[in-house]
Amino acid sequence: MYAHLIRRLLQFAVVLVLGSIAVWAFTFALPGDPASVLLGPDASPAELEATRQRLGLDGTVVEQYLSWIGHALAGDLGSSYYSGQPVVAELLDRIPATVQLAGFAMVLTLVIAVPVGIVVALRPRSVAGRLFQGYLTAGLAVPTFWLGLLLIIVLAVQLRWLPASSDYVPFWGDPGGALTATILPALAIAVHTSSVTARFLATSLGDVMGKDYIRTARAKGVPERDVIRRHALRNASLPTITIVGLQLGGFLGGTVVIEAVFNYPGLGRLLYTAIGERDYALVQGGVLFVVATFLLLNLLVDLGYAVLDPRIRLT
C-alpha cells in the first residue's frame, strides 16, 4: 500500500512540473501584450515599456519561467498584473465559490445518476427505464451552456423563481441564500454529468449482474435487494468512482462556460478573465492549482480503489 502511495506521489510531482512547463509555454504563445491590456489602448510606448519592466516581462521566456518556478516552490505565485494582489490571495478568494458550486453539482449528479443508473441497468424495459434512457440521451446531447440559458429563461426570466446571475453566498453563513444562488448553475452542470455517470453505472452494473457470484448469491437465497446492494453495486462502483473523480476535477477548473453564463464568480471565470487580460501570473498560478487539484483527485480515486478493492492494495 505504501509503495503504491509513494509511486503515485512521485508521478504526481513529475506531472505537475511538466504541466507547469506546458502551461507556461502555452501562455506565452498567446498573442497580445499584457502591458497593453493593462494600460489600455491610449497608453504611450514609453509607459508600455515601463510596465513590461515592472511586470518582469523583459527577460527571456526561460528566465521568466525559472524565476517563476523558483518562487512557486517557495509558495509565492507572484502578484496579479491587473489587481496587484498576490495570486494566492486571488485564488483563495475564488476557490470557496468554485468548491461550493462543484460540491452542489456533484451532489446533484449523484442524486440523479445513482437511481437512474440502477433503474436503467436492472429494468431497462420498464416505463421508468425507458424514460431514464431518454434522459441519458438528452443529457449527453444537450450542451451545458444551452441548458443553462434555457434554465435562465424559464426559471429566472419567466418565472422569476431564481436569480439569473449568481453571487457567491457562503453555505455556512446563509444556507438558503447559498442554495438559491447556486442551484441553477449546479443543475445545468449536473444534467450532463449525471448522464455520463449514470451510463457508466448502468453499464458496469449490467455486467456485474451477469457474473457467477451474483448467481451464487441468488442461489443461496439472498434477497434480490441485498444482492444488488451488497454484491452488485459495490463491484459496479469502481468505474463510477473513476468518472466521478474526473468530473469533480473538471468542476474545479472547467466550469468556465457555466460561470460565464450565470456570471458566477468562481475560479473558471477568474481564469477566463485573466487569459483575456493576459494576466500571466494569475493564469499560471490558477492553472497550476487546477492541475494540482486534478492530480490530487486522481490520486484520491486511486487510493479509493485500494480501499474498496483489497486486491488493488496487494498488487
CB 156 within 8 Å of CB 163: yes
In whole angstroms, the minimum distance from the beta carbon of 41 to other proteins comes to 6
208-217 own/partner pairs: CB under 8 Å, 24+ apart: 208/232, 208/235, 208/236, 209/121, 209/122, 211/235
Query: Which position among 59, 61, 263, 313 is part of the footprint of other proteins (CB under 8 A)?
Result: 263
Four-residue CA torsion sign, 19, 22, 28, 30 = negative
| Amino acid (1-letter code) at residue 209 | M
Under rule CB under 8 A, residue 88 binds other proteins: no
Beta bridge partners of 86: 79
Under rule CB under 8 A, residue 262 binds other proteins: yes
In whole angstroms, the minimum distance from the beta carbon of 16 to other proteins comes to 26
Which CB atom, from 90 or from 302, has the smaller least distance to other proteins?
A: 90
Under rule CB under 8 A, residue 104 binds other proteins: yes
Under rule CB under 8 A, residue 43 binds other proteins: yes
Query: Which position among 18, 161, 216, 223 is part of the footprint of other proteins (CB under 8 A)?
Result: 161
Under rule CB under 8 A, residue 174 binds other proteins: no
Window 221-260: contact mask with other proteins (x via CB under 8 A): ---------x-----------------------------x
Distance CA 82, CA 277 (A): 8
Which CB atom, from 66 or from 89, has the smaller least distance to other proteins?
A: 89
Distance CA 9, CA 3 (A): 10
Under rule CB under 8 A, residue 173 binds other proteins: no
CB 201 within 8 Å of CB 240: yes
Distance CA 171, CA 109 (A): 19
In whole angstroms, the minimum distance from the beta carbon of 64 to other proteins comes to 18
Per CB under 8 A, which of residues 274..293 are in contact with other proteins? 276-278
Query: Which position among 15, 72, 149, 306 is part of the footprint of other proteins (CB under 8 A)?
Result: 149
Under rule CB under 8 A, residue 311 binds other proteins: no
Under rule CB under 8 A, residue 175 binds other proteins: yes
Contact range with other proteins by CB under 8 A, out of 182-190, 203-211, 241-249, 295-303:
182-190
What is the contact surface with other proteins in residues (CB under 8 A)?
30-33, 36-37, 39-47, 80, 82-85, 90, 104, 107-108, 110-111, 114, 149, 152-153, 155-157, 160-167, 169, 175-177, 179-183, 186, 230, 260-263, 265, 269-270, 272-273, 276-278, 307
